[in-house]
Amino acid sequence: MAATLQAIRGMNDVLPDEAAGWLAFEEIVRDCMHRYGYRNIRTPLLEQTGLFRRAIGEVTDIVEKEMYTFTDELNGEQLTLRPEATASTVRAAIEHSLTYNGPVRLWYAGPMYRHERPQKGRYRQFHQFGAEALGFAGPDLDAELIVMCAALWKTLGLGDVRLELNSIGSQEERARHRVELIRFLETKVEALDGDAKRRMHSNPLRVLDSKNPVVQEATKDAPVLMDFLGEASLAHFDGVKKLLGAAGIGFSVNPRLVRGLDYYNLTVFEWITDKLGAQGTVCAGGRYDGLFEQIGGKPTPAVGFAAGIERLIALWQDAGRVPAPHAPQAYLIHQGEGALEYALLAAEALRAAGHAVVQHGGGGSFKSQMKKADASGAPIALIVGEDEVRAGELTLKYLRRDRPQARIRRDGLVAGFNAALKET
Ligand code: ATP
Ligand code: MG
């Protein structure tokens, strides 16, 4: 016997029972994006490695150790499975001059790839949806994206997500803070772990973001970036906070909140839940005014977020808000001379009228077919035997209600079925 094959570690199948919830989730996201005027964009799963190195930054978890990178042996190109989609979206926007006529609002959804240690809420193939507002400089769009997230959590019925907010200022402000921060970290070297020591000089802000409690304790009195922000940065931050206040959205300012990705500036935010253990960040975003230039475009201010679909769906399940999968409206069983063709055409007529009809496949006795009808969850079984074919009718049986079965005319099938559905 051939050896059985399994999915790659950290890359999950979403089986039909669960996929129904994913579809419902995606529909809600799609509808939300539409209501805020965001237009869908689809970029390839593979990009040149250089895109992510330049866009995400060399000294980040993603570029240092998480990317699936390989050489295309057919032509020698260095390729990477996308670890996130902002870089690809901006690459596409530059390549196709999407902001030529002014700012644009875009959204995407799909799988992302990172070589991480798989655990609950952390996978090697995972899914994100995200929105990117390209070409907008003001705090209004930062606020709009956050308001949109809040509306989405409300639609999904997720009560336990809180908002943390920070401003990481401009590059110049970060440069001045950085000098002080490195000076501070040098006095704490003995308390830093390997990652923190390595990043102390290359990306010291990330040290403040460490999840190691020893490092957190040692850096609790580190110079605060917020104290280095100038008037313009503070005004932008105030603008965001004011709009969130007006929209009635609660938040807490977390001065240690930085983003793993180097291209962020000014506003950064995370939506966090305590319900999912250590993997509690369900959505993260911020402004990245420097990214277009960094990958060869014209200076273009931009702001966006990415949300983790697996974590949000887990939260949605926790909240008991995932809708039950749709059962078909009817299960059609058939047996005898001419019954199959008759059933097929009747099913097609009902489907053309918008009904979900499962036609029994594979034969079997009426009794075993009825069992399948019952298990399908449909409220109605339609039955076609030789008798029905001869009479030009179908037998209709209510599966979830105690009502006598009835005959409906084949030539008035849709009307008869609609009337019966009202009785279910
Ligand atoms: P973390 O600190 O958890 O590693 P991150 O900073 O790497 O997160 P982002 O790159 O900001 O995460 O991605 C945005 C969101 O995507 C996260 O908040 C999370 O919900 C989700 N996410 C990121 N990595 C994974 C993963 N490996 N598996 C599942 N979801 C993920
Ligand atoms: Mg990560």
* Kind of pairing between the strands at 252-253 and 162-167: parallel
CB 168 within 8 A of CB 203: no
CB 349 within 8 A of CB 413: yes
Instruction: Give the phi and the psi of residue 14 in degrees, each rounded to 5.
Output: -105, 105
The dihedral through the CA atoms of 273, 279, 282, 284 has a sign that is positive
The residue extents of the domains of the chain are 16-169+229-318, 330-422
- The neighbouring-strand residues paired with 113 are 125
Distance 297 CA to ligand 1 centre (A): 26
Question: Could you read off the pLDDT of 157-181 as tens digits, one per residue?
Answer: 998 899 999 999 998 999 999 999 9
Q: Chain-wide mean pLDDT for the chain?
A: 95
Torsion of CA 347, 348, 351, 357, to 10 degrees: 30
3-state secondary structure of 302: strand
Ligand 1 atom nearest the C-alpha of 121 is 29
In the structure, which protein residues have their CB atom closer than 6 angstroms to any atom of ligand 1?
84, 114, 116, 121-123, 126, 128, 260, 279, 281-284, 306, 308, 310-311
Ligand 1 atom nearest the C-alpha of 260 is 6
Question: Could you read off the pLDDT of 121-134 as tens digits, one per residue?
Answer: 999 999 999 999 99
- CATH number for the segment(s) 330-422: 3.40.50.800
Are 16-169+229-318 and 330-422 equal in CATH topology?
A: no
E runs forming strands in 257-329: 265-272, 281-287, 302-308
CB 155 within 8 A of CB 28: yes
What pLDDT sits at residue 49?
97
Q: Average pLDDT of 216-227?
A: 92
The pick from 125, 311, 313, 315 for probing ligand 1's pocket by mutation, whose C-beta has the most ligand atoms within 8 angstroms, reads 311
What pLDDT sits at residue 389?
98
List, in sequence order, the alpha helices (H) in 104-165: 139-156
Instruction: Give the phi and the psi of residue 230 in degrees, each rounded to 5.
Output: -85, -175
Nearest CA to ligand 1 atom 29: 122
- CATH number for the segment(s) 16-169+229-318: 3.30.930.10
Q: Which residues neighbour 33 within 8 Å (Cβ) at sequence distance 6 or greater?
A: 40, 107, 131, 148
Nearest CA to ligand 1 atom 7: 260
Ligand 1 atom nearest the C-alpha of 306 is 14
Distance 133 CA to ligand 1 centre (A): 20
pLDDT tier, 202 (very low <50, low <70, confident <90, very high otherwise): confident
Q: Average pLDDT of 374-401?
A: 97
Check whether 199 has a pLDDT greater than 90: no
Which is nearest to 170 in space by CA: 239, 260, 266? 266
User: pTM for the complete prediction?
Assistant: 0.93
What is the amino acid identity at position 93? A
Check whether 417 has a pLDDT greater than 90: yes
